[in-house]
Amino acid sequence: MYYFENCGRPNDRSKCPLCKNDIGSVKGGSIQLLVRDPPQIQLSIADGFQLIDNYIKQYNETNRYGYYINPMQTENSTASETNEHLQPITYRLLHMFTHTLIMMLYDLKCLQSIRDTPDLKVNYFRKHYLKDYALINNIIGQQNECHIWLYRIFNNLSSFCIDGVLDTNKKVVDFEKHIEQNVVLPHIKSVSDGIQQYKLVYSEFIRESHAQSQLIDYINELVENEKQYPLLNFLTITRTWYGLKLDDVQLDCTHIKIDRTQSMEQFSKSRKLAFFLLNRSTDNSSFEVLGCIHTLAKFQNSIINFCKYITISQILHEDIERKQPAIEIQKIKKEHLLVISSEVIDTILREENGYIINYEYGKTKEVIYDYDEIETRLCNRINRIRLIDTENFNYFNYQFELYHQDVSLFNDIRRNIKQEQISTDEKVKLQQYLRNTKMDDVRQFLGSLDYVFTYFRHATGRPTTSTLKKSVKILIHNTSDLHSYILNEQYPFANIPLKYVINLYELIEELVFDEVMRNYVKQELITDVCVNEEEKENIIGQFVGSTYMLDNISQQLKDPRVWLSVLKRLIIRVITANIDLNVSMQIYIERTDLWNEDLIQYLDLIKINDNILVRHTYVILEGIEAKLKQSNNLNTDNKTNNESINIRDWCQTKTEDINRLTTLTAPEVTTIGNNKKKKLRVD
């Protein structure tokens, strides 16, 4: 080891970092070298460097054979580890090749160790090349397809041959540099494209001996067959979003926190089903994938629309969005993505006339950037990219999913069968009938309607005048498990026309909530919702003030009973599921499947404060009910008082009229004997 202290004459004293002995001068500020054993070398700087150069030259020219065990443990190896003449990826590849070859030769008894030590067991080499493989994965960023890239390297090495013997360090360095320049770097510049090309070539090679393509080729989008595998577009969602730096995303009504506590391998294993069965279940695995992809797609669409808007200013922004062809989000390929990285900018600058050297004032090295040219190049790249359809996903939906208004049972039925409201008189009769029925029958009836609705959602062309019973008989073959209210005409529900089925469902649903589900509301909606009573009253007041008490709101929405019905539906259909309760209620109130058909047109007028959350739903429901009850009691008292006053005034008026009439028409009064009793004669 050559150790320099202050790069000149010794004027200080310190410790050798290896042997811990004193080195330097005898005392601070002195130039006298400390006498010690082994002695220190005192040379000028030029002579010292010359001595080192000669030593390195002699070392490089000395013949050295055999393998020298690296004292570093595999656990301490890092992706940045390398020699001074190699890049980390080349060093790691050569390190892996060396240990793999030695392990094979040693295992085949082709090598004989000088000393039989545990260090030269097969496990030692295996640990090294496994660690190298993991580090190469991290370096090239292809976690699941690194082996394909290594295959390409191996294939290239098979046609790569250099004559000679690597018997000196200089020859080894030259050989490693040659490998890096001619094998590694050409392949590292286009890892993704190289892997895809290799898979294509390999697929063609396999198909030469097999007439039918393998399933993995369809999954990797190397071949297509829409008739045989129409659902394989579900598999185009990739795992790359795991590395995104998004802390949380929102997908429609759902707010998702991104959890990266798991390793990539654990995460991939737990999300495999979600990538294939893309759904809106209560499991967040699909929500995380959809939320991230949806967020990124919206970012790209915003950039594209803005670019087109500023470059084609005479066209309205809405027209641009409407006229652009959009690609389905689950059919995205690399060419559909907007990639603007430092490499892209560098390419524009170097290869696309992005800058010039300023020679106007002599031979200066000043660079002039052509910003107009750069902007034009970027706009051209953006204009070649299609918009992404962020509204429509292809799902494997579960039967009773109500997490999104576009896939809800109610909106599907409304699209196929035009719905209307039941008349008030008929609604009162049905409510009275249901209240006099056992609640178990009502709940079973509601469950049967749930089942029937799964058939109605796909029933196109059904006349609205067709009755519930007739439609069920046509659409459902096995009706033995349905409640008798649906098929028995003795009850008032079987002959209800299809145009009233959703209103009937909502009527029953509200009754079930009042009589049964109110007692089983989530504790998160009841306890510790608000800090104190003041906050509770404030939340209720804000909601009331921004809804039915708002001055400019539609007259149809001024009835508090309308809002009570919507809040009950929100609790039954959505909040009973596993959703985040700390999101704005506005997101859910905007859903069309919670409202009657005649009120959907007014939903754009509803603006609820962001601090009113879903967890406040039941508190607000109780608050409105209390206000409505108080108002009804006040109206009842006022009505009673007014009726009493009216009756008293009427009686007083009638008494005065009778007295006056009696005075004017009274007959003559006669007295018989001593009898004082007056007798009236009325003609």
Give the count of alpha carbons within 13 A of 201, CB side only: 10
What is the spatial distance between Cα 579 and Cα 256, in angstroms, rounded to a whole number?
10
**List of long-range contacts for 441-444, beta carbons under 8 Å, 24+ apart:** 441/483, 441/485, 442/508, 442/511, 442/512, 442/515, 443/512, 443/516, 444/483
Report d(CA 444, CA 399) in Å as an integer: 17
pTM confidence score: 0.42
pLDDT value for 327: 79
Q: What is the pLDDT of residue 82?
A: 83
Length of the chain: 683
What value does the mean pLDDT take over residues 399-425? 72
Terminal Cα distance for the chain, rounded: 148
Distance of alpha carbon 500 from alpha carbon 105, whole angstroms = 81
Half-sphere exposure of residue 377: CA atoms within 13 angstroms, side-chain side:
18
pLDDT at 660 over 60: no
At residue 409, the pLDDT reads: 75
> What does the alpha-carbon distance between residue 277 and residue 343 come to, in Å, rounded to a whole number?
36
Q: How confident is the model at residue 543 (pLDDT cuts 50, 70, 90)?
A: very high
Q: How far apart are CA 177 and CA 432, in angstroms?
A: 90
| Token pair of 509 as six digits | 């649903």
pLDDT higher for 344 or 544? 544
Task: Report the C-alpha gap between 166 and 154 in whole angstroms.
Answer: 20
Can you give the residue ranges of every domain in the chain? 13-61, 74-189, 405-520, 529-683
Q: Which helix (H) or strand (E) holds 154?
A: helix 146-158
Q: Which amino acid is at 573?
A: R
The span from the CA of 137 to the CA of 92, in Å, is 11
Confidence class for position 305, pLDDT limits 50, 70, 90: confident
The band of 577, judged by pLDDT with boundaries at 50, 70 and 90, is low
Instruction: Report helix, strand or coil for 42.
Output: coil
Tell me what pLDDT residue 353 has.
Answer: 63
Look-up: residue for tokens 């579900």? 234
What percent of the chain stands above pLDDT 70? 64
% pLDDT > 90, the chain: 3
Q: Which residue has the higher pLDDT, 662 or 395?
A: 395
Most confident of 33-42, 205-214, 314-323, 430-439: 430-439
Question: pLDDT class for 234, splitting at 50, 70, 90?
Answer: very low
Contacts of 280 (CB under 8 A, 6+ apart): 286, 287, 395, 397, 398, 401, 403, 404, 407
How sure is the predictor about 530, in pLDDT bands with cuts at 50, 70 and 90? confident
Q: What are the tens digits of pLDDT across the range 376-400?
A: 777 777 877 888 887 776 654 443 3
The overall average pLDDT reported for the chain is 73
* Residue 622: HSE in the Cβ half-sphere, 13 Å Cα cutoff: 13
Nearest to 561 by CA among 502, 625, 605: 625
Which carries the bigger pLDDT value, residue 33 or residue 100?
A: 100
Alpha carbons 433 and 415: distance in angstroms, whole number: 30
Residue 334, pLDDT above cutoff 50: yes
Residue with tokens 């097999």: 210
User: What pLDDT, on the 0 to 100 scale, is given for residue 620?
Assistant: 92
- Give the tens place of pLDDT for each residue, 106-140: 777 777 664 555 555 677 778 888 888 888 888 87
Q: In this structure, what token pair is assigned to residue 483?
A: 């409640």
Is residue 466 a contact partner of residue 496, using CB atoms and an 8 Å limit? no
Reported confidence tier of residue 213, pLDDT bands at 50, 70, 90 = low
Sign of CA dihedral 645, 651, 654, 658: negative
Question: Does pLDDT of 498 surpass 50?
Answer: yes
Tokens representing residue 418 in the block: 């035009």
Asked whether residue 309 carries a pLDDT value surpassing 60, the answer given is yes
The DSSP code sequence of 54-97 is HHHHHHHHS---S-----S-GGG--TT---TTS-HHHHHHHHHH
**Is the CA virtual torsion 274, 276, 282, 288 positive or negative?**
positive
Rounded average pLDDT over 566-589: 80
- Look-up: residue for tokens 């490998």? 179
Cα separation, 412 vs 671, whole angstroms: 92
Instruction: Report which DSSP code applies to 577.
Output: S
Averaged pLDDT, 524-544:
87
HEC readout, 324-377: CCEEEHHHCCHHHCCCCCHHHHHHHHHHCCCEEECCCCCCCCCEEECHHHHHHH
Counting DSSP H helices and E strands in the chain, the numbers are 23, 8
- Confirm if 196 and 143 have CB atoms less than 8 A apart: no
Backbone angles phi, psi at 496, to 5 degrees: -70, 130
Q: Which residue has the higher pLDDT, 457 or 345?
A: 457
Q: Which residue has the tokens 């060396």?
A: 98
Identity (one letter) of the amino acid at 404? H
Write down the pLDDT at residue 461.
73
Backbone angles phi, psi at 619, to 5 degrees: -60, -45
Q: If DSSP codes are grouped into helix, strand and coil, which group holds residue 1?
A: coil
Q: Which residues are bridge partners to 355 per DSSP?
A: 369
pLDDT at 542: 92
Q: What is the pLDDT of residues 249-280, one digit of tens each?
A: 766 666 667 666 766 666 666 665 555 455 55
Of 62-71, 188-197, 338-347, 387-396, the least confident: 62-71
Please name the residue ranges forming H helices in 417-456.
Answer: 424-435, 439-456
Rounded-to-integer distance, Cα 60 and Cα 170, Å:
5
pLDDT of residue 238: 39
The residue ranking higher by pLDDT, 325 or 541, is: 541
Calpha distance 102→121 (Å, rounded): 11
Q: Which of 318, 290, 320 is nearest to 304 (CA)?
A: 320
What pLDDT is recorded for position 241?
45
Give the pairing of strands 254-257 and 367-369. Answer: unpaired
Instruction: Report pLDDT for 98.
Output: 84
Residues 6+ apart with CB under 8 A from 449: 486, 501, 504, 505, 508
Which one, of 218, 285, 220, lies nearest residue 256 by Cα?
A: 285
Has residue 368 got a pLDDT over 60?
no
Q: Dihedral, CA atoms, 437, 441, 442, 443, nearest 10 degrees?
A: 150
pLDDT at residue number 245: 63
